[in-house]
């Protein structure tokens, strides 16, 4: 039986915990006395407790995040009630800041704040030797990344077949955006490129085809980003898929030329724009060159096969709905395949709280701590925007209705205002934002175009049917009064989802 159980509750099964694998890799001689246990947030707490206690551990370490803190708190409370002597150690971003008053912190024996890759092993050694640390809250020193043991061997064959494989070539972020925890993680620290690429070769040799880089600024250091892209380009194989987060206004010619060589759909860039409003950017200490950003977008869309996933945030201090809408329209015209409309969250430790009084920022008290209202966005308007974000994800980001969407804002109408109209109408019609079958979405979109927008029935039907049948397995829609069965849906997945976009 292991002395140490490393555990976390993932949002979904496909999300393998990168943090647990780092902790396991850096346990050193304690590795053989440890076991890694991953769960998901919709499992029953008693089921998780039973699985943990079956190993009869002396120490249990939990990775705690914004998406799992409530469920993990319940699990820890049960563990402590059943086995009071069990030592519980917490780590992760949710418990690294503002620890006072957190229920889960009160239940735990120790909390390691910051990057615990090395510190966790040190504390376990002390505890197992009977040397109990006097502090409950223990700050981890920033580890030298090139001294860390590699986590990649701890991806199992099951992980490689069924889960997202996370990798990182660097840690930290050079920017100071006040809503983001990465703004606290300075300086940027790069892993040795040669050693990192050797690890990537090992994953390729084991059959990995999809790599999700968690680096906050992949294209910050040109020689490194070019070296990584060239490495994968030289080893190109069918089905290879690379996901990067990139700085949107930094895309020099050398990088452009290299990106252009990848086949369509092989590379996805997640681009955090967040706002197009200069005053709002200043409020949140965000620096970006919008002219250069737009030029880079045009190049990527017109000259490469890169899939762009762009982010905008609703509820930033000083930005109202009209300003957000103008930015949204500007982004739609740049034609990324996906636009993620996010609602501002107040992450623990971030300096965004300095605006609370001036902009009357009111956040939900429980995770994920989303903004409820601001000086510039009322609660009712914020609720409308939550529905807007949800419906946009279902209709636009799914890639199922790319041509039909254009009918919403044809003749120069504002994409934001027209989709907001559709969002309001859809909610008044369906009265729900989840558990909506795809054929119901299609029929609703058709009805809105014809009944509300006044689009010619034949034009709407032909356009929608063209979108619909880009997935050949789907049965016919009932737009012209013919009986139809419920449609089949396609299999989820990053690469498969982006393939629907044109």
Domain CATH for 92: 3.40.50.280
Q: Are residues 492 and 360 in the same domain?
A: no
The answer as to whether 307 is a domain residue is yes
The answer as to whether 289 is a domain residue is yes
By the 8 A CB rule, do 327 and 288 touch?
no
By the 8 A CB rule, do 340 and 310 touch?
yes
State pLDDT tens for residues 324-339: 999 999 999 999 999 9
The answer as to whether 46 is a domain residue is yes
pLDDT score of 4 more than 70: yes
- Here the tokens at position 443 are 């029929």
The answer as to whether 394 is a domain residue is no
By mean pLDDT, which of 304-318, 334-348, 357-371, 472-486 is the weakest? Answer: 472-486
Q: Are residues 453 and 311 in the same domain?
A: no
pLDDT score of 502 more than 80: no
The answer as to whether 150 is a domain residue is no
Q: Are residues 194 and 78 in the same domain?
A: no
The answer as to whether 361 is a domain residue is yes
* C-alpha Rg value of the chain to the nearest Å: 24
Query: Dihedral through CA 86, CA 365, CA 113, CA 10, nearest 10?
Result: 70
What total of structural domains would you count in the chain? 3
209 lies in which domain range?
Answer: 164-377
Are β-strands 137-139 and 165-167 bridged in parallel, bridged antiparallel, or unpaired?
unpaired
The answer as to whether 286 is a domain residue is yes
Q: Are residues 168 and 218 in the same domain?
A: yes
Percentages helix, strand, coil for the chain (3-state, rounded to 5) are 45, 15, 40
pTM of the model: 0.92
State pLDDT tens for residues 66-114: 999 999 999 999 999 999 999 999 999 999 999 999 999 999 999 999 9
Higher-confidence position of 471 and 380: 380
State pLDDT tens for residues 195-242: 999 999 999 999 999 999 999 989 989 999 999 999 999 999 999 999
Q: Are residues 407 and 446 in the same domain?
A: yes
Q: Are residues 73 and 180 in the same domain?
A: no
Q: Are residues 140 and 59 in the same domain?
A: yes
What is the C-alpha to C-alpha distance for residues 436 and 486, in angstroms, rounded to an integer? 12
Q: Are residues 474 and 354 in the same domain?
A: no
The answer as to whether 386 is a domain residue is no
What is the C-alpha to C-alpha distance for residues 179 and 173, in angstroms, rounded to an integer? 13
Q: Are residues 250 and 202 in the same domain?
A: yes
Q: Are residues 188 and 318 in the same domain?
A: yes
Q: Are residues 176 and 267 in the same domain?
A: yes
Q: Are residues 251 and 363 in the same domain?
A: yes
């Amino acid at each position: 039986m292991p002395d140490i159980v490393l555990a976390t509750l993932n949002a979904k099964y496909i999300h393998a915990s990168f943090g647990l694998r780092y902790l396991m890799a850096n346990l050193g001689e304690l590795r053989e006395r440890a076991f890694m246990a991953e769960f998901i947030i919709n499992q029953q707490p008693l089921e998780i407790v039973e699985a943990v206690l079956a190993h009869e551990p002396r120490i249990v370490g939990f990775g705690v995040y914004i998406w799992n803190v409530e469920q993990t708190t319940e699990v820890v409370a049960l563990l402590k009630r059943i086995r009071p002597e069990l030592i519980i150690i917490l780590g992760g971003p949710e418990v690294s800041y503002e620890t006072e008053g957190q229920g889960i912190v009160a239940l735990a024996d120790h909390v390691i704040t910051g990057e615990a890759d090395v510190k966790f092993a040190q504390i376990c050694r002390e505890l197992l030797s009977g040397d109990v640390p006097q502090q409950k809250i223990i700050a981890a020193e920033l580890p030298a990344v090139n001294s860390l043991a590699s986590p990649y061997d701890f991806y199992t064959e099951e992980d490689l077949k069924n889960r997202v494989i996370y990798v990182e070539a660097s840690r930290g972020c050079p920017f100071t955006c006040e809503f983001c925890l990465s703004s606290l993680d300075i300086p940027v620290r790069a892993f040795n490129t040669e050693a990192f690429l050797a690890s990537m070769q090992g994953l390729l040799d084991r059959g990995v085809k999809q790599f999700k880089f968690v680096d906050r600024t992949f294209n910050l250091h040109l020689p490194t980003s070019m070296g990584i892209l060239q490495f994968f380009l030289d080893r190109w194989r069918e089905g290879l898929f690379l996901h990067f987060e990139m700085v949107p206004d930094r895309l020099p010619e050398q990088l452009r030329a290299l990106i252009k060589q990848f086949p369509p759909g092989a590379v996805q860039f997640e681009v955090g724009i967040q706002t197009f409003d200069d005053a709002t950017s200043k409020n949140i200490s965000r620096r970006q060159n919008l002219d250069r950003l737009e030029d880079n977008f045009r190049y990527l869309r017109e000259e490469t096969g890169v899939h762009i996933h762009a982010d905008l945030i609703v509820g930033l201090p000083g930005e109202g709905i009209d300003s957000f809408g103008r930015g949204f329209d500007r982004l739609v015209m740049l034609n990324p395949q996906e636009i993620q409309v996010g609602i501002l969250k107040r992450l623990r430790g971030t300096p965004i709280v300095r605006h609370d009084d001036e902009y009357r920022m009111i956040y939900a008290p429980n995770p994920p701590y989303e903004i409820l209202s601001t000086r510039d966005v009322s609660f009712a308007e914020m609720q409308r925007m939550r529905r807007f974000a949800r419906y946009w994800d279902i209709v636009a980001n799914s890639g199922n209705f790319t041509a039909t969407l254009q009918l919403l804002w044809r003749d120069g109408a504002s994409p934001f205002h027209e989709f907001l109209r559709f969002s309001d109408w859809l909610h008044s019609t369906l009265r729900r934002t989840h558990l909506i079958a795809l054929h119901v979405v299609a029929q609703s979109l058709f009805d809105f175009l014809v009944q509300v927008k006044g689009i010619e029935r034949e034009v709407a039907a032909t356009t929608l049917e063209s979108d619909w049948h880009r997935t050949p397995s789907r049965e016919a829609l009932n737009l012209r009064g013919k009986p139809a069965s419920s449609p089949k849906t396609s299999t989820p997945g990053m690469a498969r989802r982006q393939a629907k976009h044109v």
